[in-house]
Structure 1
Amino acid sequence: MVRSTGYTVTVKETETVAAASPVGEHRLPLSNLDLLLPALDVGVFFCYKKPKGKHCRSLASMVWSLKASLAETIETYYPFAGEVVANSAGEPELLCNNRGVDFDVAQADVELRSLRLCDPSESVEGKLVPHKKGGVLCVQVTELKCGSLVLACAFDHRVADACSTNMFLVAWSELSTSKPLSCLPTFRRSLLFPRSPLRVDRSFDRLYVPFSSLPPPEPDHSEEAINRIYYIAAADIDRMQSSTKGRTKIEAFTAYLWRALAKTAAPGDNWCRMGIVVDGRARLRDTAMSSYFGNVLSIPYGTLRVDELLRMEVAEVAEVVHSWLQREATEEHFRGLVDWVEVHRPEPAVARVYSKEGGPACVISSGREFPVAEVQFGWGKAAFGSYHFPWGGSTGYVMPMPSATADGDWVVYVYLLKKVAEVLEAEQPPVFRTLTSDYYLP
């Protein structure tokens, strides 16, 4: 039983769902890009209103359907049914042994309308999104007092990025409704093999750093980090973009957030860093990359002086974002990053923007392909959905996703220092708007 401010979640059933027809047990190496990810779990959840009319189903029927289709889905997406183990060099790799997916069924004495999803630390963390106890993936289905349903997963980020998880979620919903799979994943690690001979550009030393070369930790000033979920109206996104003279929505959004971040710099913080997670699938010229399962991510970032940022217009900042983003979002960048990791193996490395090097820093993630409208299991579309990643570091994390409610709106999950969230909430005209149940349950 999990107690929380305002409501209680009680786990009623616990089962491990395995593939009925598993692949033979084998080890699947992680790619060099997987090896850039530390052992962190990522959550994702979907809220469904109580089924009515033609969608009306009992909880038992819905749970049975979810389990049966999950068992079928992990026949194809078998890494999610395995375990992460160490190889002879001490590096993580996948043991594809059909361990299975831990699956909990729970009840919560709260209605969907009463959930304060704007504060996921209170309403979601450890209650609706489960903590993974083993394996690669775990699932929790929670029935709310009003008959609504919350479906949540947590997965090991070393095994899959958001794109891979989105493919899995869509496949699960397709098999649940007896549809053919629209995409078959590929696990061909050769797509991300290093080149021979290696071609290592030392510019990657600015973007990534081996653990042994990390700067010593700075004093802990115990600044409070918080989780929030906001929404941004389509009109505000368009207004932001129109002010940046033809730059993309994400470049305009990054520029806006970078300037806001600079306003929170402490005395002595001279620099402010902003990064963007870039998916390399479209940059790597192989048709199989579009369905590649794993991590194909890089995190280029820019650094500007705080005083300079505060003097610049959003349009000027967007030009800076565009310049470093375009320079790094290429096939050569991703091939070079694979080679750079190869040179440093088996020592792990991490994106330097996450290191504590002084001054505020934030990363904008790649959630704009979140399939919130597509993940349907036979009882209607989700009323709300979001990723959930309270990773615990000092660098902020912001993930814009499409809204389930309004075309063109964004739902934005943030993990930020409290003072940064307060600046965003106070900006005029408002952009980061408070999420209430009236937004997703009109």
Structure 2
Amino acid sequence: MAPTVKVLTSEVVVPAEETPAGSIWLSNLDLAARRGYTPTVYFFRPNGDPGFFAADVVKGSLARALVAFYPLAGRFGVDGATGRVQVDCTGEGAVFVTARCDYALDELMREFVPCRQMRDLLVPPTPAPNPPCALLFVQVTYLRCGGVVLALSMHHSVCDARGAAHFLETWASIARGDDADANANAPVPPCFDYRLLAARPGPARAVLYDHPEYKPEPEPAVVDAGAGASDDYASAIIVMSKAQVGALRARCPGASTFRAVVALVWQCVCRARALPPEAETRLYSMIDMRSRLDPPLPPGYFGNAVVRTSVSATAGELVGNPIGYAARCALAATSQGDDYARSLVDYLEGVDAMNLPRSGISRAHLRAISWVGMSLYKADFGWGAPAFMGPALMYYSGFVYVMNAAEKEGALALVLSLEPETMPEFRKVFAEELASLEVL
């Protein structure tokens, strides 16, 4: 029998203190973000504390976190004069659910992959992501063994993954009882000045790049057009050891860990899909521009500060060359700076940024996102760091997240989705590549 969840409570948690009212203008990057909620899960092992993830402690610390992150207690709104979406700081609160599940943590960790079944089991349901919807949904699920799953579903128009991690780190710090004034490592206050990413005034506006990632994708010319983007996918979590990551980087001189890993995944995906040598394959990525802008954004910038980028090659070029070639291609897709970001913001000023194409990608392509560096230990609510964290759902086939592996120093976890018929061959090809790294 499949595990089931029983909802215990469902309520709205409001900020613990009065918060600023009014509306917050959203940047073009916020408008261009995927219109929907991003569901993530955090698995925690029981630690013997009778107060482990007590609902009143979690709920009380959430109320205090919403004081600093008050937009999350608001609602998605619309400027009546311009029709532009915005955040209305109403202080109405976040949805907070507690539930009980007959999974044990070890069973869950063996079976978990991001998919609709797991999302529906562990993440609270969300409404259509349109005004006047709530922006944050939280669920605490108590497992049979005493462990806990904490799930968040946050509206993507409000912030990106880095911003969501910032909120969670602040919430966890409050739950631990940290003294923010005395703790040098306390999370910095959030910054909601999204006009830092406003388009330049008319005469100064300059679109210097093409930005194809924000335009409808043409039908593939070589790969069978009937095998285009699909909601049907198989997902997997694959761990690379510290030694394997080091050996791979040694084969990709000058490449970052993310670029080296993505290069290997991209190459193996082309092989598993048996793409014709002349087929174009495109690597899409999302780049955090906070530190790349001139001047950089404030450390606590909470909105969407990522831009979509891409680079293309033929399948024959990727498969027929050493891995360093694919890594150099990945570098070309992930090295953009201030001029690129400002060009994109200016470009979005001239299009309908609220209705950009947001569908999946052709099965010839791959989308890779880095969550490396989002430290799991900072999600310690006082009862220990998570045993796992990751997305609860993959949106379509051809998606890969690269992140730090929990409880394994220096290791990486790859969370990916592929066509169901492609995944077995990918696992085989990728395992062979990992084995070859181990003998170097």
TM-score (norm 1): 0.87
Report the counterpart of residue 165 of structure 2 in structure 1. 166
The correspondence for 1:124, drawn from 101, 118, 124, is 118
Cα distance in 2, alignment partners of residues 198 and 261 from structure 1: 42
After TM superposition, list the pairs within 5 Å mapping 1:84-233 onto structure 2. Answer: 84-88=76-80, 89-115=82-108, 116-121=110-115, 124-133=118-127, 134-179=133-178, 180=180, 181-196=186-201, 197-201=203-207, 203-209=209-215, 215=218, 219=226, 224-233=232-241
1:78–1:216: structure 2 CA closer, same or farther, 3 Å change rule? Answer: farther
Report the counterpart of residue 324 of structure 2 in structure 1. 315
Cα distance in 1, alignment partners of residues 169 and 43 from structure 2: 16
One-letter amino acid of the structure 2 residue matched with residue 311 of structure 1: G
Kept in 2: contact 1:27–1:94 (CA 8 A): yes
One-letter amino acid of the structure 2 residue matched with residue 99 of structure 1: E
Report the counterpart of residue 308 of structure 2 in structure 1. 299
Cα deviation for residue 215 of structure 1 reads 4.5
Structure 1: runs of 5 or more not aligned: 434-442
Runs of 4+ in 1 over 4 A off after TM superposition: 213-223, 265-269, 428-433
Report the counterpart of residue 336 of structure 1 in structure 2. 343
Report the counterpart of residue 439 of structure 1 in structure 2. none
Cα distance in 1, alignment partners of residues 431 and 34 from structure 2: 38
Kept in 2: contact 1:192–1:338 (CA 8 A): yes
Kept in 2: contact 1:41–1:157 (CA 8 A): yes
Kept in 1: contact 2:114–2:394 (CA 8 A): no
Report the counterpart of residue 380 of structure 2 in structure 1. 376
The correspondence for 2:295, drawn from 282, 286, 306, is 286
Identical pairs, percent? 24
Cα deviation for residue 288 of structure 1 reads 4.5
1:7–1:282: structure 2 CA closer, same or farther, 3 Å change rule? Answer: same
Cα distance in 1, alignment partners of residues 117 and 356 from structure 2: 34
1:428–1:324: structure 2 CA closer, same or farther, 3 Å change rule? Answer: closer
Report the counterpart of residue 46 of structure 2 in structure 1. 50
Cα distance in 1, alignment partners of residues 409 and 101 from structure 2: 30
Query: How many residue pairs get matched?
Result: 415
Structure 1 counterpart SS, 2:65 = helix
1:226–1:130: structure 2 CA closer, same or farther, 3 Å change rule? Answer: farther
1:276–1:383: structure 2 CA closer, same or farther, 3 Å change rule? Answer: same
One-letter amino acid of the structure 2 residue matched with residue 337 of structure 1: L
Cα distance in 2, alignment partners of residues 399 and 347 from structure 1: 25
1:377–1:187: structure 2 CA closer, same or farther, 3 Å change rule? Answer: same
Cα distance in 1, alignment partners of residues 434 and 59 from structure 2: 37
Kept in 2: contact 1:164–1:292 (CA 8 A): yes
Partner deviation per Cα, 1:194-225 (whole Å, 9 max, x = no partner): 1123433352343322xxx6647954676831
Partner deviation per Cα, 1:118-173 (whole Å, 9 max, x = no partner): 43337622111222234111011011111111111111111110100010000001
Cα deviation for residue 281 of structure 1 reads 0.3
Structure 2: runs of 5 or more not aligned: 128-132, 181-185, 436-440
Cα distance in 2, alignment partners of residues 424 and 216 from structure 1: 24
